Amino acid sequence: MRSIQVVNVRWFNATAWYGMYLSRLLLEAGHETLVLVLPDTLAEAKGQEWNLPMRRMPLNTVTPWGIIGLYAELKALVREFHPRVVNCHRGEAFILWGLLKKELGSFRLVRTRGDQRPPKNSPANRWLHNTASDAVITTNSRMTCHFRDNFRTPPGRLHQILGGVDKSVFFPDARARALAREELGYTDRHFVIGLLGRFDRVKGQRELIQALGLLRTRGLRDIHLLLLGFDSATPEGQVRDWLREAGMEEAAAITGKRSDIPRLLNALDLGAAPSLWSETIARAALEIMACGVPLIASDVGVMPDLLDADALFPPGNVEALARRVEAAYLDSGLRENLRQAQAVRMADLDGRDFLAQTLGVYESL
C-alpha cells in the first residue's frame, strides 16, 4: 500500500503523533509511505528522529501565488510517487488535494478528523468530506456523530479509529516502578497522581493542582503530584506559581522533558487527564492505561469512548475532580476496578490494531 501522509502540524501534538505513528507502523509493515511536513517544525524533528521519509512543503500557505505554486508541487509529487491513498491529518491544503483528486483521479483521498472543533456544516465542507473524500476517519464518537448526523456522511465512508499505543514500550513494569519511585523520593506511603502533557491551559494542570491542594487541606497529606511535562504555551514558572498558591510546592515534582516516560508512568498510583477541552486524540491516556495505571479524566473529546462513568468528571470542576481523586485514594478496590475495566478497553488499542483498522479502510477504497 503506497500512501502519502499529510501531517502539516507545527507542534508534535496529538494530531501529529497520530499521523507520524501511523506512518511508522505502515513503514514497519513494509508499506511505501511518504510524510509531508512543514519545514523547521517540531513535527519534522520527530519525523527525523523516527527516520521517516519526508518531504518538506509550505502546506499552510495562504497567499494566492503560494497556493498556485503548492498545487503545482503537489501535482508533480503525485505523478512522481504514484500514491494509492493520500491521507490528510489537517485541514490546511485539504481542498487542494480534493481538487487534485478530481483532476487526476489517480488516488483515493482520506481525511482523518482528530481536530478540536467539528467542521462547519457548509456546502464546501460537505463536498470536501462527502464527495471529494473517499473516506473520513474520526478519532472519537463525538466527531463520528457530527459527520453522521449533521453532514449525513454515508456510513460506508465514515470510520472511527481511536489510534493505538506501542505495548512493547508502554506496559506494567514492577521493576521500573520501584526504580522510578526511589529516584523521585516516593515511599509506599505516598499516593502519587500524575498528569502527562505539555504545560498548556487546555491540559488542566491548574485545576488538578487546586484539587490536590484542597485534599491536602482536608488531611490527605500523603497525596503527591507528578507533572510529566515541560514549557509550552504555559511557562514552568506559571505552573510553579499555581503550586505555591495551592500549598503544593512540597508535594509536587516536575519532570521536564524525559526520554523514560514509560518508566515514570509506572511510578504512578493514579493518572489524571483533566483537560478543559480538546483531547480528541488520546495519546497520553492510552500510554497511561497501557502501563496498567488507573486513569480519571474530564469527559471531553475521546475520553467517554475510553473510560466508564465512574472515572469521568466535568471539565474545569475542581471539586468534582477532587472527589474522584479522593475516592481513588481511599478505595483500593475502586482503583483495581478502574484498572481492570481500562485493561479490557485497551485490548484492541495496540499499534497493530491501529494499523490493521487503517489498512482496512485503505483497502476498501
pLDDT at 173: 98
d(CA 196, CA 192): 13
pLDDT band at 204 (very low <50, low <70, confident <90, very high): very high
pLDDT band at 9 (very low <50, low <70, confident <90, very high): very high
Angle between the N-to-C axes of helices 283-290 and 14-28, in degrees from 0 to 180, rounded to the nearest 10: 60
Q: Which residues contact 227 (CB under 8 A, 6 or more apart)?
A: 194, 195, 199, 205, 239, 252, 253, 254, 255
d(CA 356, CA 17): 17
Q: What is the pLDDT of residues 145-196, one digit of tens each?
A: 999 999 999 999 999 999 999 999 999 999 999 999 999 999 999 999 999 9
User: 2-164+350-364 belongs to which homologous superfamily?
Assistant: Glycogen Phosphorylase B; (3.40.50.2000)
pLDDT at 93: 94
Q: What is the pLDDT of residues 21-55, one digit of tens each?
A: 999 999 999 999 999 999 999 999 999 999 999 99
pLDDT at 98: 97
The answer to whether the beta carbons of residues 198 and 230 sit under 8 Å apart is yes
Q: Where are the domains of the chain?
A: 2-164+350-364, 174-346
pLDDT at 117: 81
Does position 126 have pLDDT exceeding 80, yes or no? yes
Overall pTM surpassing 0.85 (yes/no):
yes
pLDDT at 57: 98
pLDDT at 233: 86
pLDDT at 10: 92
What proportion of the chain, given as a percentage, has pLDDT over 70?
A: 100
Identical fold between 2-164+350-364 and 174-346 = yes
pLDDT at 68: 96
d(CA 315, CA 7): 29
The answer to whether the beta carbons of residues 199 and 228 sit under 8 Å apart is no
Q: What is the pLDDT of residues 322-336, one digit of tens each?
A: 999 999 999 999 999
Find where cell 453532514 sits.
151
pLDDT at 116: 76
Q: If you average pLDDT over every residue of the chain, what do you get?
A: 96
d(CA 323, CA 275): 16
User: 174-346 belongs to which homologous superfamily?
Assistant: Glycogen Phosphorylase B; (3.40.50.2000)
pLDDT at 231: 87
Q: What is the pLDDT of residues 97-124, one digit of tens each?
A: 999 999 999 999 999 998 778 899 999 9
Closest C-alpha to 159, from 143, 175, 176, 180: 143
Q: What is the pLDDT of residues 216-271, one digit of tens each?
A: 999 999 999 999 998 888 999 999 999 999 999 999 999 999 999 999 999 999 99
Query: Per-residue pLDDT averaged across 283-296, rounded?
Result: 97
Does position 3 have pLDDT exceeding 80, yes or no? yes
pLDDT at 118: 86
Closest C-alpha to 13, from 94, 120, 115, 159: 115
pLDDT at 38: 98
